[in-house]
Amino acid sequence: MHAVIMAGGRGTRFWPRSREKKPKHLLDIISKRTVIQETVDRILPIIKPENILVVTGLKHARTLANQLPEIPSANIIIEPEGKNTAPCIGLAALHIRKKAGDDIMVVLPSDHAITDTGKFLQVIKTAARTAKKAQALVTVGIKPTSPQTGFGYIERGEPVPPGTTEDVFRVKSIREKPGFQQAAEFVQSGRFYWNSGMFIWKASTILKSISRWLPDLASGLTAINETLGLPAEKATVRRIYKELAPISIDYGVMEKADNVFTVLGDFGWSDVGSWDALWEISAKDKNGNAFVGGSNVISVDSSGSLVYSPKKLVCLAGVKDLIVVETKDSLLICPRGNSQDVKKIVEILEARNLNKYL
């Protein structure tokens, strides 16, 4: 079994901590370990370091290698440019097939938080058995706790096999990020689960699915495969990637395929996709305040707030439900519940060419 960790995101909703040179997965957000170090630590009990691949961009490859010394340098696969998850996964599948034949791939985002590693590993093992036995595309579904519009949703079908004690189901449909009303209907129905973005399948299964549903990508992967391990590999990957259309594996394959299963996961999952999400999973004082990252805070009659300020003293007086994030060159203040709008701030910085803040 191999793991593929996708480490190409920018983490714009975690600005001002997350920057182009050091995005969210390279930061110590949840503990003293960085997020990607925690991701690797989590999977190590069942997958050896030499069987873990990390797909990233050239800009972050050296930092990743320094943070993950246990991962062989040959296992850090560099994409010349980000083209979303389908090309990333297809490229990793080629490397696994060349290295180990038709092995199981456990595809993981680099920037999620999980509190119960034991349960997580049990779900991965169940998913791997299912992927191997049924030649299936397997995803991990998370029971929703609220109608979130930032996640895709998986509609559960019949259990597989009927009468099984394991939480494995056929997938009836996969839905893109809904509006709030539809998300509320999904949650109320009890049939829908958050799409965690974790996938498990055999290398041959995903490559066949890409060939069927994404023929242009499949053609590009064929050309890359012919040069894997040869001097022409890097130039071929650069040439092919310039021609590829960016597309997610969910939209390109999972929404169309008919051999999709889901394993239900209940292991304390969060995508830590925003400062609001960090407040949700952080320890809080008696007033619901979360002071993270060694923050030095004085709070008077204040509640429900998140503060990240490891160097400057922050004083809260008579406020509630705020997010306060301080770095050496920037200060973010917004109401808790509005941290998705941080992405808009990054877009404005880009439009104004304020690159030193990106």
pLDDT at 176 (0 to 100): 85
* 3-state SS, residue 307: strand
What pTM was estimated for this model as a whole? 0.92
Tokens linked to 200: 């498990």
What would the mean pLDDT of 228-250 be, rounded to a whole number? Answer: 95
* Residue in this structure with the two tokens 């498990």, named with its chain if needed: 200
Share above pLDDT 70 across residues of the chain, in percent, rounded to a whole number: 99
Give dist(CA 320, CA 305) in Å, integer.
6
What would the mean pLDDT of 276-292 be, rounded to a whole number? Answer: 94
2-6 vs 52-57, strand pairing mode: parallel
Q: Which residue has the higher pLDDT, 313 or 145?
A: 313
Q: List pLDDT tens digits, range 66-112.
A: 999 999 999 999 999 999 999 999 999 999 999 999 999 999 999 99
Give dist(CA 84, CA 20) in Å, integer.
17
Residues of the chain with CATH 3.90.550.10: 2-270
What would the mean pLDDT of 280-294 be, rounded to a whole number? Answer: 94
Report the chain's mean pLDDT, rounded to a whole number: 93
Give dist(CA 105, CA 1) in Å, integer.
6
Reported confidence tier of residue 148, pLDDT bands at 50, 70, 90: confident
pLDDT score of 50 more than 60: yes
Distances (CA, A) of 58 to 64, 132, 208, 324: 10, 33, 28, 32
pLDDT-wise least confident of 7-21, 52-66, 68-82, 340-354: 7-21
pLDDT at 85 (0 to 100): 96
Element (H, E) at 110: none
pLDDT-wise least confident of 45-59, 141-155, 206-220: 141-155
DSSP string across 271-295: ---SHHHHHHHS---TTS-EEETT-
> Contact 112/211 with Cβ under 8 angstroms?
no
* Residue in this structure with the two tokens 């190590």, named with its chain if needed: 44
What would the mean pLDDT of 132-149 be, rounded to a whole number? Answer: 92
Judge: domain 2-270, CATH 3.10.150.10: no
pLDDT score of 324 more than 80: yes
Q: Is 328 exposed, middle or buried (0-12, 13-18, 19+ CB in 10 A)?
A: exposed
Q: Helix 58-67 vs helix 35-43: angle between axes, to the nearest 10 degrees?
A: 60
* Residue in this structure with the two tokens 């597989």, named with its chain if needed: 160
pLDDT score of 146 more than 90: no
What would the mean pLDDT of 262-275 be, rounded to a whole number? Answer: 92
> Contact 314/295 with Cβ under 8 angstroms?
yes
pLDDT score of 142 more than 60: yes
pLDDT at 162 (0 to 100): 57
pLDDT at 165 (0 to 100): 52
* 3-state SS, residue 302: coil
Give dist(CA 278, CA 307) in Å, integer.
10
pLDDT score of 244 more than 60: yes
What would the mean pLDDT of 257-285 be, rounded to a whole number? Answer: 93
Instruction: Please give the angle made by the CA atoms of 291, 278 and 171, to the nearest 5 degrees.
Output: 165
pLDDT at 273 (0 to 100): 85
pLDDT at 106 (0 to 100): 98
Compute how many other C-beta atoms are within 10 angstroms of the C-beta atom of residue 110. Answer: 25
pLDDT score of 166 more than 70: no
pLDDT score of 164 more than 60: no
Tokens linked to 230: 């040869």
Chain length of the chain: 358
Give dist(CA 326, CA 308) in Å, integer.
6
pLDDT at 150 (0 to 100): 81
Reported confidence tier of residue 10, pLDDT bands at 50, 70, 90: confident
Reported confidence tier of residue 161, pLDDT bands at 50, 70, 90: confident
Tokens linked to 54: 């990390």
- DSSP 8-class letter at 303: B
Distances (CA, A) of 351 to 8, 288, 333, 344, 345: 22, 36, 21, 10, 10
Give dist(CA 333, CA 322) in Å, integer.
7
HEC letters along 166-217: CCEEEEEEEECCCCHHHHHHHHHHCCEEEEEEEEEEEHHHHHHHHHHHCHHH
What would the mean pLDDT of 167-180 be, rounded to a whole number? Answer: 90
Tokens linked to 245: 């259309």
Contacts (Cβ under 8 Å, ≥6 apart) of 164: none
pLDDT at 167 (0 to 100): 87
pLDDT at 81 (0 to 100): 93
Share above pLDDT 90 across residues of the chain, in percent, rounded to a whole number: 85
Q: Which of 12-16, 198-202, 279-283 has the highest mean pLDDT?
A: 198-202
